[in-house]
Amino acid sequence: MGAQCGVAHKMTHEEDMVTERSQPVVRGQKSRFEAKIDQAETIRSRSTTPDFQQILSRRMSRRGVLKAGAAAGAVVVTGPVLRLGLPTAGAANASAVSAVAATGVHFAPIAPQPPDLATIVVPEGYGWAPLLKWGDPIRSSGPAFDPLNQSVAAQAQQVGYNCDYIGWHQVSGRGELYRGLLWVNHEYTNPELMFAGYEEDNPTREQIDIQLEAMGGTIVEVIRNDDGRLVVDPYGARNRRITATTEIRVSGPAAGHEWLKTAADPWGYTVSGMLNNCAGGRTPWGTVLTCEENFQGYFGGLSRMNPEDPRADVHDRYGIEEDLSGYGFELAHPRFDVSSEPNEPFRFGWVVEIDPFDPDSVPVKRTALGRFRHEGATFGYSPSGRVVFYSGDDERFEYIYKYVSTNAYDPMLRGMGQDVLDNGTLYVARFNDDGSGDWLPLVYGENGLDESNGFSSQGDVLVKTRLAADVLGATRMDRPEDMQQNPVSHKVYAAMTNNSNRKADDIDAANPRSENRWGHVIELSEQDDDSAAIAFTWDIFLICGDPADESTYFAGAPKDQVSPIACPDNVNFDTAGNLWISTDGQPSALELADALHCVPTEGAQRGQVSQFLAVVGGAECASFEFSSDDRHLVVSIQHPGEGSDAIPGDTTDAYPADLEHSAWPDGGLFYRPTVIQVWKNNGGSINSLD
């Protein structure tokens, strides 16, 4: 991690004390939005709040009452369990009984590891190996990885850079026929680590175009071989790359919006590529939802726009650079310069739907789900059959959202034929101090979302989602990251990564700690166990950090039984309903390597955070996923070596020989972001009693 050579990419969390993760390098300008913050505060619903200890005491008191009630009742599970691919309709009751019995941590937690770790560490009795590395050809006919002779054509046929969200889609599951589709996001690039002789102030056109092909996502078919390990099938008919140059269709209320029209697309219905795909989700009909997060880092030139142009303030609210962008893509492609093409940024920041089963299908940007720095689009269950998808907006003081379709989905219709992602309502969350919450509809013509506040249509509301949420007075959160619904209890867990900028006079019940460098996790219960409800209750599940710190809290678990954890990023569940949390920022927050943790949400071990895995120096544990039978865990190791002084391709003595992990995982001269697989040596489920 860290800002190197002025290139825009993820920052360390020590730097996050000053600037936001993944934002482009800021060159000292004052944001127009910051200049207007006092005015904006007049439309926010915020009350005077007590200090941290008072808030924690009050929340724990209320929690004690709730826990007593929960202990007296039985767990009842209804509806389909969405589990790593398509939901298993009607199978919940039988599977949930055995799953609940297995709730808990069934491995020996590893000790916290130093931040300069040279290799992956997993518990005793487990093994790991690379599965997908940057530059691996995705087909048997593809070019082999040659980092000293990269080309645009080669990268378009190889695994992209900086792996993030992983989605597993089951194809078959009988013995040797066990086969799945693996979708992997490629969030951004580190050109200073990708190219030998890279000059930050003078990138070549080819280097820029290679980076465009290194982003987006990868689809590969994966099979289980004779020794029980997963391997990529190089002959898989569905193997495919989708990049920052792939043609993508636009649908929903903002399709054809005046601000989505450009010289290349005067109709506003077709976009070249997707950018900064970070987190994601799966649909019950078998497609991928991949989310454009920090797209703003690729655009510059805001200072050269007419300040009276209404688009300028919106660009500023979303973080577009005043001058040159951190990547400098506009040096080769004018569409990334807002003074030349002011509408291009409005075509990014969306959720993109992709059918991994159909290699000929065209991806679609679903504008009904809103435009912001999406951290995930994860499924929520509703008895009505309507679909719900949760998202966080990954920036300090931004909001939590969910989308609810108007109609039920058709469980018999697979692929891109569903229309439920184009017709629905986007909501933003307001967390009340008494533990209740409201989903506020972002609907044109309601609650001030009209011409009086600068909105002229529903498409307008969605293009300017952040500004619409400002008007409604939603709760400003501590960098909302991933959100996931527990497949057993149906509770929703939301990770707040950190917010070192929150001051003591700005804390509230949902964000109870000032200078929150360590983050926290919120547990949310939808009214009537229905994700489509417009009301919810909530509680603090974890307040992260060193267990010795009195400000930490682990759902009531004894602190001497808890692993340190900081900067929760992505979350997911095993079939027993145990919450798993990956981290991004422990090296600066705790001086520990980033990690993957498991924490039960029910039972005697509720809140007992146990570390399962630690990643190598410079890397974050970006994302993870279980195979459908829980026998394999796949984990994204993103930006290994970031922040080091290693020089890619340098075979001289200048190469830092003391950094053993600098050539991870191959031992070559280039770092390679990698999806690894983890297994239990006895062939059992990852977190099982056997």
What domains does the chain contain, in order, with CATH numbers? 15-680 (2.120.10.30)
245-255 mean pLDDT: 98
pLDDT at 155 over 60: yes
Beta-sheet pairing, 126-133 with 374-380: unpaired
Q: How far apart are CA 359 and CA 223, in angstroms?
A: 18
Total residue count of the chain as it appears in this document = 690
Q: Which two tokens stand for residue 466?
A: 């952040």
Q: Which two tokens stand for residue 64?
A: 């004690």
Query: CB-side exposure of 305: number of CA atoms within 13 Å?
Result: 25
pLDDT at 150 over 60: yes
Residues 6+ apart with CB under 8 A from 300: 320, 321, 322, 323, 324, 325, 328, 330, 336, 337, 338
Beta-sheet pairing, 247-251 with 364-366: parallel
445-459 mean pLDDT: 98
pLDDT tens digits, 9-36: 443 333 343 333 333 333 233 343 343 3
- CA distances to 245, 256, 259, 311 from 463, rounded to whole Å, are 22, 11, 8, 11
pLDDT at 662: 52
pLDDT tens digits, 498-549: 999 999 999 999 999 999 999 999 999 999 999 999 999 999 999 999 999 9
Closest CA to 22 of 50, 39, 1: 1
Banded pLDDT at 64 (limits 50, 70, 90): very low
Beta-sheet pairing, 374-380 with 270-272: unpaired
pLDDT tens digits, 609-652: 999 999 999 999 999 999 988 899 999 999 999 987 766 766 55
343-348 mean pLDDT: 98
Q: How far apart are CA 56 and CA 90, in angstroms?
A: 40
